[in-house]
Amino acid sequence: MQFKENQTIYLQIAERISDEILLGHYAIGARIPSVREYAALVEVNANTVMRSYEFLQTQGIIFNKRGIGFFVSPDAKHKITEYRRNEFLKTELPRFFMQLYTLHIPMDEIDSMYREFIENLTSNPSNQAS
Amino acid sequence: MLQIENLEFSYHKKKAPIFNGISLTIQPGSVYGLLGKNGIGKSTLLYMMCGLMFPHKGRITLDGVEVRHRRPETLEKIFLVPEEFDLPPISVDAYVRRNSVFYPRFDREQFDRYLADFELENVKNLSKTSMGQKKKYLVSFALATNTPLLLMDEPTNGMDIPSKSQFRKVIASGMNEQKSIVISTHQVRDLENMIDRIDILEGGRLLLDSDTADITSHLRFIKGAGEADIEGALYSVSTIAGYSAILPNPTGEETPLDIEMLFNYAIEKPAEIERIFANPVK
């Protein structure tokens, strides 16, 4: 696995597992690989992968059945979207606002651009990012 | 659990001692990265940990028994993969028959799986393989002995690019809560995400003995940063993609550890590292 330079490894692995759940690699209710299996897969220390699993567990995305392993929660997809939405609002949006502020871009302009973007997206589904 | 207490050693009476009061506890469940400049004593320390060499002062015990006595119950719990070694001119099977008897937890199935992971076919004569191949055989054998303590001296030296990736997979899958692995290495990039505890040897002492989570809670590692971002940096280098730097971490926000940068910082400013990670004397 290629890791980004500016995000901590355990969160990158948690993101990767979340993507895999969204893409249906691991079905709702299915068991995900053991910590050690996943550690071998991404070539990372098992303790780091354990942190990723604990993180996903705290977010309610996976749950632990003692002695059996980790499973995808029934509402995992919803929880992932919820988590990403919160992260976006908390970390990305302030940066975006800062740019708007320093470049003197009024919110009205953004608003109309955003409407146009949505219109474009819905009238031409091939533009949609997968 | 291996315990090193106040280790002192020197090769020559007139020269500065190579170890001047080293204390370290190796706990199960962790991969230790033993780092240090050339000739600083990394291999010597590994040899002492398995009873191949004896300290002048201080002692090393494994589960309470001094390793220098080389008792069978101690030796069956330790495996050393040296940096350079020869294998006897025999087949894999003969090697296993001859050596596995010393390790009661040896698992042939596991060994075969590692060999398959490394894409090693059965050979007639182990001594007629390349250094990289020999390393992979011995690492596979070492992991399959399931000794609680596994020592490896520069294990990725001589391995080709795909083998290094295989090596990480094999270590990650061969590791468990009962084992501890100590790896001395210069190739920190090869093992960056495998190590969860870092030990830096310098000037006869352990400059740093901390787990990676502890390190990243004290220090921030940033890359591709602009000049304004590195204000107050403890250490910084200029690269094509901007500055890479180590900064204090007042907010506790976690960044990915860069071992190479940490090592350079530690060697350049040993006093600072010791102040930040003021390890209580064990």
Interface pTM, i.e. ipTM = 0.81
| Domains identified in chain A, total number | 2
Of B34, B64, B59, B58, which is closest to residue B46 (Cα–Cα)?
B34
How crowded is residue A32: how many other Cβ atoms within 10 Å of its Cβ?
20
Chosen for mutation from B193, B196, B255 (greatest number of chain A CBs closer than 10 Å) is B193
Q: Are residues A40 and A84 in the same domain?
A: no
DSSP string, B99-161: HGGG-TT--HHHHHHHHHHTT----S-GGGS-HHHHHHHHHHHHHHTT-SEEEEESTTTT--H
Residue B237 buriedness (CB in 10 A; 0-12 / 13-18 / 19+): middle
Closest to B205 (Cα-Cα) out of B22, B15, B13: B22
Same structural domain, B27 and B145? yes
10 Å CB burial of residue B52 (0-12, 13-18, 19+) is: middle
Number of domains in chain B: 2
Which residue, of B203, B232, B255, is where some domain finishes?
A: B203
A22 and chain B: CB distance < 8 Å anywhere?
no
Interchain CB distance below 8 Å, A47 and B224:
no
Given a cut of 60, whether residue B281 has pLDDT beyond it is no
Facing residue for B172 by CB, picked from A6, A11, A36: A36
B105 CB within 8 Å of a chain A CB: no
Q: What is the rounded distance in angstroms from the CA atom of residue B24 to the CA atom of residue B36?
A: 15
- Would you say residue A3 lies in a domain? no
B195 and B131 belong to one structural domain: yes
Say if B259 is an interface residue toward chain A (CB within 8 Å). no
Query: Is the same domain home to B104 and B224?
Result: no
The tokens describing A31, both together, are: 């068991």
Give A20's contacts (C-beta < 8 A, 6+ positions apart).
A26
CATH assignment of the domain containing B76 = 3.40.50.300
- The verdict on A36 and A48 lying in the same domain is yes
Res. A125 pLDDT band, cuts 50 70 90: low
Tokens of B32: 């230790």
Local confidence band at A49 (pLDDT 50, 70, 90 cut-offs):
very high
A67 and A81 assigned to the same domain: no
Residue A2 within a domain: no
Confirm whether A50 is domain-assigned.
yes
Q: Which pLDDT value is given to residue B225?
A: 84
Is the separation of the CB atoms in B142 and B152 below 8 Å?
yes
CA dihedral B13, B18, B21, B26 (to 10 degrees): -140
B29, B172, B216: residue with CB nearest A39: B172
Cβ of A40 within 8 Å of Cβ of B173? The answer is: yes
**Hey, is B29 helix, strand or coil?**
coil
Residues A70 and A26 in one domain: yes
More confident residue, A126 or B180: B180
3-state secondary structure (DSSP) of residue A44: coil
**Residue B227: pLDDT band by 50, 70, 90 thresholds?**
confident
Cβ pairs A/B, distance under 8 A: 57
Domain that holds residue A26: 9-75
When comparing pLDDT for A125 and B70, which is higher? B70
Q: Is the pLDDT of residue A130 over 60?
A: no
Tokens of B161: 């690019």
Verdict on whether the full-model pTM lies above 0.90: no
CA B246 – CA B120 distance, rounded (Å): 41
- Structural domain containing residue B275: 210-282
The model's confidence at residue B282, banded by pLDDT at 50, 70 and 90, is very low
Please indicate, yes or no, whether residues A63 and A110 belong to a single structural domain of this protein: no
